[in-house]
Structure 1
Amino acid sequence: MKTKLISVGDEILIGQIVNTNAAFLGERLFSSGFPVDKNVVIGDEEDVLLSELSDSDKNYQVTIITGGLGPTHDDITKPALVKYFNDKLKTDYKVLDHVRNIFSSRNIVMPHVNNGQALIPENSEVIWNSNGTAPGILIKKKKKVFIALPGVPYEMKPMIDEIVLPFLKNYFADELKSVYMQKTILTTGIGESSLNELIGDVNDVIGESKLAFLPSSSGVRLRINVTAKSSKEAESKIDTIEFKLKEKIGDYIFGYGEEDLESVIGDILRKNNLTLSVAESCTGGRISSRIVSVPGSSEYYIGGVCSYSNELKMSLLGVKKETLERFGAVSSETAVEMAEGIRKLTDSDVSISTTGIAGPDGGTAEKPVGLVWIGLSDKNNSFAMKFLFGDNREINIQRSSQRALEILRRHLLNIKIIF
């Protein structure tokens, strides 16, 4: 079973938007037994789409096109399909009523051009779009299918989950002989190369399955891909690989799939009935922002202080003037006093702090750009750790906030804090 994706739109090619549709489709199709073999992006050029349709017709059983179904002159997907399959358009009056209702419900006079969205190829089927005016198109040809969907993610995603994938599984039921399954393991606090060294011989861990390393400034995602004859066998393979990985890198694993570190920490705090506070300097509120992005964070997050200036470090957090004069704002001593100060100010169970030189200016030979001290304080102990995160300001802020949260996670779970 070979599957191809075609994303249509000049806006993707020129970098005006990110092609998140392809990532969504790749994940959904893989887990449904239709791994993507080819993924192409083309501009709003009818001849180019016709060439891609010809390639699909020769080499692929499933082709899914996103984009180019709107009502304007640069929406070329529908005209190209009509031309390639030597078809003609007809009005689908159910779609036309739907389009009219959308405009009337918003108290907007429908432009005449939108009538064209109810035109579909005669030898096709409508894929219903409950969230927009552009219906999807399904064309069958000799046990091959061509599917065109709107490029708006909000419209396309439910069409895939509710209509397209169930159709594909049923239509190709006799040919789906393998089960494809994947699981993503989230790690942080360790680089890709070091993680690879800890894992050792990957083949001993995964056998005939696949393991991908996906690094970012906040950590490394490990994606396990397995193929099996049944779902039970696929789940067993994933469980075995995950067990072996946990034996080797368990301390660095903080979650799975779409989880994020702030949500994981929130669960730990909630389960242990603990409260948290944050004092930030170089991260400028990034940590607090991440924490409060989690629904229900008010159960454990008391609050924070963004003390960028020395004056606020002293007046709000109680950092001693002598500490700042002797050791400087970017120091272990200041980080500790910031963490202790915010914990006492809020009466929280645990607190974290950051102070550093985010860059690109402000560094010295002794304290270069990228130097960050991260502090932690609870009712039993206070400490700070030193890091060098490089000379990119945004990456420094990302890495500092991620590392601070990871230090907190390890502290809460009594995992040795080594980086």
Structure 2
Amino acid sequence: MDIEKIKKFNSELIEKKITICCAESITAGLLASTIASIPGASSVLKGSIVTYNPELKISILGVKPETLFKHSAESIETTVEMVNGLVKTYSNAELYVAVTGVASEPLENSGVIKKWGQVYIAIYYNNEIYETDKIIDFIKTDEIEIRNEIREKTVDLILEKILEVIYKPVS
């Protein structure tokens, strides 16, 4: 991870007095760990919950079993429900982000084949949800290296998207 990028991200949130709470699946805590890698991160990061398993998405974040069945755990529908559940559960931040995706050889889920590198991000800020559905390109060849490359690039994408959202002109 680019330390300067992380410093810039944290300072932008500090300057705007924005704290963040995360629900992570594909990144498995890497997003929160990245934000926390810079001194002073406690001014920004409220916390993160890793709901890697669909059962935790249901029991902790209130994702509907029907959503998981119909769209799979790796879908924008699931991610939006994750971020909404996070807002209801932890109402003490200004910005919330949820992320899911596919970081290994894709399997057919709920009749839908997901692509390797497919990620879904939902950001809740100022009572709006911003959705991102993107395929992360990777260059590594080893499956473990690919997984970690996808996860790291997903964190980079999330940091970029959050900055876009907080600097989006108010309509």
Considering the TM-score relative to the shorter chain, is it more than 0.5?
Answer: yes
SS of aligned partner of 2:4: coil
Whole-Å separation in 1 of the counterparts to 2:72 and 2:133: 14
Deviations 1:21-56 (A, max 9, x none): xxxxxxxxxxxxxxxxxxxxxxxxxxxxxxxxxxxx
Q: Report if aligned partners of 1:281, 1:356 keep a CA contact under 8 Å in 2.
A: yes
Whole-Å separation in 2 of the counterparts to 1:265 and 1:277: 15
- 1:398 paired residue number: 152
**Displacement after TM superposition at 1:366 (Å):** 2.9
Q: Once superposed, what is the RMSD of the aligned Cα atoms? A: 1.9
Task: Please tell me whether residue 259 in structure 1 is matched to residue 4 in structure 2.
Answer: yes
The alignment of Structure 1 onto Structure 2 pairs a total of residues equal to 158
- 2:124 paired residue number: 377
In structure 2, give the amino acid aligned to 1:371: Q
Deviations 1:116-159 (A, max 9, x none): xxxxxxxxxxxxxxxxxxxxxxxxxxxxxxxxxxxxxxxxxxxx
- Match runs of 1:157-172 below 5 Å: none
Structure having greater relative contact order (Cα 8 Å, sep ≥ 6): 2
SS of aligned partner of 1:259: helix
- Match runs of 1:51-62 below 5 Å: none
**Displacement after TM superposition at 1:268 (Å):** 1.7
User: Structure 2 length normalisation: TM-score?
Assistant: 0.84
Whole-Å separation in 2 of the counterparts to 1:390 and 1:412: 26
* Correspondent of 1:328 among 53, 72, 76: 72
SS of aligned partner of 1:302: strand
Deviations 1:336-366 (A, max 9, x none): 111222233221111111101101x234473
- 1:357 paired residue number: 102
Of all paired residues, the percent bearing the same amino acid is: 30
Whole-Å separation in 1 of the counterparts to 2:34 and 2:149: 15
Task: Please tell me whether residue 299 in structure 1 is matched to residue 53 in structure 2.
Answer: no
**Displacement after TM superposition at 1:291 (Å):** 0.7
User: Structure 1 length normalisation: TM-score?
Assistant: 0.36
Deviations 1:92-113 (A, max 9, x none): xxxxxxxxxxxxxxxxxxxxxx
**Displacement after TM superposition at 1:378 (Å):** 2.0
Aligned in 2, Cα 1:341/1:379: closer, same or farther, shift over 3 Å?
A: farther
Q: Report if aligned partners of 1:339, 1:352 keep a CA contact under 8 Å in 2.
A: yes
* Correspondent of 1:283 among 22, 27, 30: 27
- Structure 2 unmatched runs, 5+: 139-145
Whole-Å separation in 2 of the counterparts to 1:280 and 1:353: 6
Structure index of larger Rg = 1
* Correspondent of 1:386 among 111, 133, 136: 133
Whole-Å separation in 1 of the counterparts to 2:35 and 2:160: 13
- 1:13 paired residue number: none
- Match runs of 1:2-401 below 5 Å: 259-260=4-5, 262-347=6-91, 348-359=93-104, 361-364=105-108, 366-390=113-137, 392-401=146-155
In structure 1, give the amino acid aligned to 2:98: S
Q: Report if aligned partners of 1:302, 1:346 keep a CA contact under 8 Å in 2.
A: no
Whole-Å separation in 2 of the counterparts to 1:378 and 1:341: 14
**Displacement after TM superposition at 1:376 (Å):** 0.7
- 2:142 paired residue number: none
Q: Report if aligned partners of 1:317, 1:341 keep a CA contact under 8 Å in 2.
A: yes
Whole-Å separation in 2 of the counterparts to 1:349 and 1:411: 12
**Displacement after TM superposition at 1:270 (Å):** 1.3
Whole-Å separation in 2 of the counterparts to 1:396 and 1:339: 21
Whole-Å separation in 2 of the counterparts to 1:411 and 1:313: 25
**Displacement after TM superposition at 1:330 (Å):** 0.8
Q: Report if aligned partners of 2:32, 2:48 keep a CA contact under 8 Å in 1.
A: yes
Q: Report if aligned partners of 2:130, 2:165 keep a CA contact under 8 Å in 1.
A: no
Q: Report if aligned partners of 1:281, 1:308 keep a CA contact under 8 Å in 2.
A: yes
Whole-Å separation in 2 of the counterparts to 1:383 and 1:321: 23
**Displacement after TM superposition at 1:412 (Å):** 1.1
